[in-house]
Amino acid sequence: MTATSDTTARQCLVDQPMNQHGYISLSLPTTGETFHIVEYKDNKTQTQLETAHSGCAVFVVLDRIGCRAETWRARSVELLSEYAMESCEDSESRSITPT
């Protein structure tokens, strides 16, 4: 299965915090698009998202890994507090260099 990716970091909100199986649900507040994260580039990326709770804002670079399901791999993440959510019109996405 191939992954589709770019280096655009999406500003998302955590809908469901990570469960015991490593699944976390994120969404784009401007469009309502949902991302089901089921894989991680490395342990550091997974650990960063493990600390995020519902409502927490994150910048995340994703690779799409499913051909039918909306499943994604987190390649890079930057956590923000739930109060640091910037204006969606100004910062819905930005380019970052994945680590």
Q: For each of the domains in the chain, give its residue range(s) and CATH number, in order of start.
A: 4-83 (2.40.50.140)
Cα of first residue to Cα of last residue in the chain, in angstroms, is 23
The predicted model gives 44-54 an average pLDDT of 93
Sorting pLDDT into bands at 50, 70 and 90, what band is 34? very high
Helix (H) or strand (E) run with residue 92 in it: none
Q: Are the CB atoms for 13 and 29 separated by under 8 Å?
A: yes
pTM: 0.75
Gyration radius of the chain over CA positions: 12
pLDDT of residue 5: 56
Sorting pLDDT into bands at 50, 70 and 90, what band is 87? very low
CA distances from 61 to 20, 53, 91 (A): 22, 18, 14
Q: Are the CB atoms for 35 and 87 separated by under 8 Å?
A: no
